[in-house]
Amino acid sequence: MNTNFLNTPFTLPCGVIIKNRLVKSAMTERVSNKKLEPNEKHHRLYKLWADTGLGLCITGNIAIDHIHRESAGNVYIEDERILPKLKEWATIAKSNNTQVWVQLSHAGRQTLKFLTTRPLSSSDVQLHKMGLFGKPKAMKEHQIETVIKNFVNAARICKKAGFTGIQFHAAHGYLLSQFLSPLTNKRTDKWGGKLENRSRLLMTIIDETRKILGDSFPISVKLNSSDFQRGGFTEEESLQVIKMLNGKLDLLEISGGTYEKTIMFGADGKDLEIKESTRLREAYFIEFSKKVRSICDIPLLITGGFRSFQFCNKALQGKELDFIGMARPFITDIDKIASFIHGKIDKLNNIIVKTGIKTIDDAAEAGYYARQLIRIAEGKRLDEKTRAFKSSFFVIKHELKKALIRRFL
């Protein structure tokens, strides 16, 4: 009888046991209320996901700064006044013995103009994409200290609310990633220059959070294997940072790309600068995981590309990773996930949305899935007939609407 490795438990370094190896990786929900709080839409989503039987569910971006939100519809944690709302969400999300971790983030220069025209970042390097992002201001020392304080405080509140772990988002070009990358970090003080300095913000946040949360509470980081951009954060630098993280984390999630090089959105893998053998093996970052394994013993989560049970099971059996991360199947295939975990279904859907215009294809695909996620949160069915061009502008329209509603409170 073949072993189902996907459906076996795993004990983290902190002692927490996750009941199986399937993880819903973070997807931005965009459905906070006018006060940037979780609500019945979050409850509906997370109850559906918990009922699939997955082991770990990681929330979408939860903002630690009310301006620098990745989406105008992000939940924002300022202080303990939000605790009742968070507790209700956590209780529902933890049903069926599901681990639920909060992903904490600061968008930095990737904050839309609808929220601010002068975002804060490591340096004043502007993101040029569809004219949606303003010229950033380089953060001053006291602003960096505030960011550290806000990350640690938000993590403390999440634990108090009943969430079972936290993840710091240091990938995909958000603020912690901006500090790591020489492309966006041009500083000459202790926060810039050599990699030790560029990684100081991330390491300080982790160390200070561990002091507050203790050794038995899971702390995770989502990190780029590479920015996939000339002059950006490289694979070699990523491995050096991972060495620094060894012994500090309970789980490391590997991803890649930024808003300028959207590797993380390339559902068909065609844009990845990887070997054909890797592409045929589904997972985008599986080759990089071998290098990670050789330098550290942090439990490893890989997200991106997994769609077949046989491949997931084989990768787990070969100890190439410890957890399988998926995102979009938790939109398009919610009703199939339980059977997938038990090996009764081998393939999950991989819906690819294309307009035929390369410059807007990533917006079309992101818009398609954003709209479907919101529909599910509202208790509606998937609208699989949504046209690609219509999807291209969905996120912009939705963000503008949410931002205006918030502004005129």
The Cα diameter of the chain in Å comes to: 62
Q: Which pTM value belongs to this model? A: 0.93
Residue of 157, 161, 154, 204 lying closest to 179 (CA atoms): 204
Q: Supply the pLDDT for residue 230.
A: 77
In a domain, 386, yes or no: no
Q: Output the pLDDT for position 151.
A: 98
- Is residue 373 domain-resident? no
Say how many domains are in the chain. Answer: 1
pLDDT in tens, 30-71: 999 999 999 999 999 999 999 999 999 999 999 999 999 999
Amino acid letter, residue 362: D
| Close Cβ partners of 81 (under 8 Å, ≥ 6 residues apart) | none
345 within domain boundaries = yes
Rounded CA separation 282/297 (Å) = 24
Which pLDDT score is estimated for 265?
Answer: 47
pLDDT given for residue 407 in this prediction:
67
Q: Is residue 300 part of a domain?
A: yes
> 312 is in which domain, residue-wise?
5-353
- Domain assignment present for residue 390? The answer is no
What's residue 257's pLDDT? 76
Residue 244 lies in a domain: yes
Q: How many Å apart are CA 306 and CA 316, to the nearest integer?
A: 12
Query: Considering the domain boundaries, does residue 388 fall inside one?
Result: no
Angle at 49 between CA 285 and CA 168, to 5 degrees: 50
**pLDDT value of residue 273:** 42
pLDDT at 195: 98
Q: Evaluate whether residue 147 is within a structural domain.
A: yes
pLDDT at 283: 67
What pLDDT does 322 receive?
98
Which residues in 235-257 are b (16+ Cβ under 10 Å) and which e? bebbbebbeebeebbbbbbbbbb
CATH number at residue 88: 3.20.20.70
Segments in the chain below pLDDT 50 = 265-281
